[in-house]
Structure 1
């Protein structure tokens, strides 16, 4: 194993930054949809559900590909840290389920009470999400670089992406690139196959731009 190239997990920071940006924008985005605006509600509720799927796919691929290997290979004193990560995943997952359920109800009703419930859960999720992502960057990424091979790390990313459609994947790439500085963009570049990058960067950027335009016209509370 020692001759295999080891993981370089800093591409994960680009993904995390995209998640932080997008989830932070949700409460105002949702709250800004006028009550009774069925079309705007469908657009914004759909966006919330997409973000839930994105984060859920990201977490389940870690559960399957990362934690078991770290448990197996790391020194014993890492056990409590991984248990904390597991606990955080479980908590965030319950919040995501609530967010999805509220969003589906709101999507049908376009009602102010349902809308505000969605915004409330989105707001409540943020501290737990920030804490989890920060802990992962600080404590887990160095362990990944030390104990997982590059091939294993790429398999984790592919498992995460494999859960979403190709068009959705391009949109995710556009989302991650939006607001990314050059350094973050290069980290993301390292995470995807070259052909995906060259075709995907312009396509994803365009897809995400039109997605944001739809969101902006649906919500008065968005600063998109």
Structure 2
């Protein structure tokens, strides 16, 4: 490991920013779908379920590829921090399960009561999610850069991408690039294979623009 290039995990900030934007907009997006609008409900409920899958894939890749290496390589006093990460993941995962279950019910019914219940869960998730992302950026990313190699970090990122379909990978790339600074765009470029960047960036950006338009058409509360 000593002869290998070490990780640069700043690309995770771009992914986190995308999560903040999408989940932050979600309560109003859900609430803005008219009751009984089956088509609009389907569009927004699918988006909710997709975002649940994205965040779950992100967390499980950390559980499998990051925490074990930090536990093995970091000083003993880092264990309470990793335990906090585990607890936060467990709590957020429980909220994601509730969000997914509610999203599926709402998608089937297009009912106002089911819609409002999903919006409430989406709102309830936000403080825990924001706290987790902030702590991870402040405390975990420096440890990743110190104790994981570039190869190991890229494997962790690829494990997250590998849990979703190729089309969704491209959409995720477009989502992360939306409103990204030039610095963040270059960090994302360095994090993915060259062919994925050159082919996937324009396709992913188009897919995400189309996705945003569909959400805006489905919900009066769309801020995306």
- Whether the TM-score (by the shorter chain) exceeds 0.5 is yes
Equivalent pairs counted in the alignment come to: 224
Does residue 157 (structure 1) correspond to residue 157 (structure 2)? The answer is yes
Name 1:16's counterpart in structure 2.
16
Does residue 166 (structure 1) correspond to residue 166 (structure 2)? The answer is yes
Does residue 28 (structure 1) correspond to residue 32 (structure 2)? The answer is no
**C-alpha deviation, 1:131, in angstroms:** 0.3
- 1:183-202 equivalences under 5 Å are 183-202=183-202
In structure 2, stretches of 5+ residues that fail to align are: none
Q: Deviations over 1:150-187 (max 9, x none)?
A: 11101100100000000000000011111112111112
- 1:31-46 equivalences under 5 Å are 31-46=31-46
Superposition RMSD in Å: 0.6
Q: After the TM superposition, list the runs of 4 or more consecutive aligned residues in structure 1 that deviate by more than 6 angstroms.
A: none
Name 1:205's counterpart in structure 2.
205
Aligned equivalents of 2:20, 2:201: Cα separation in 1: 20
Name 2:129's counterpart in structure 1.
129
Aligned equivalents of 2:22, 2:12: Cα separation in 1: 15
**C-alpha deviation, 1:223, in angstroms:** 2.0
Name 2:70's counterpart in structure 1.
70
TM-score after normalising by structure 1: 0.99
In structure 1, stretches of 5+ residues that fail to align are: none
Name 2:54's counterpart in structure 1.
54
Name 2:93's counterpart in structure 1.
93
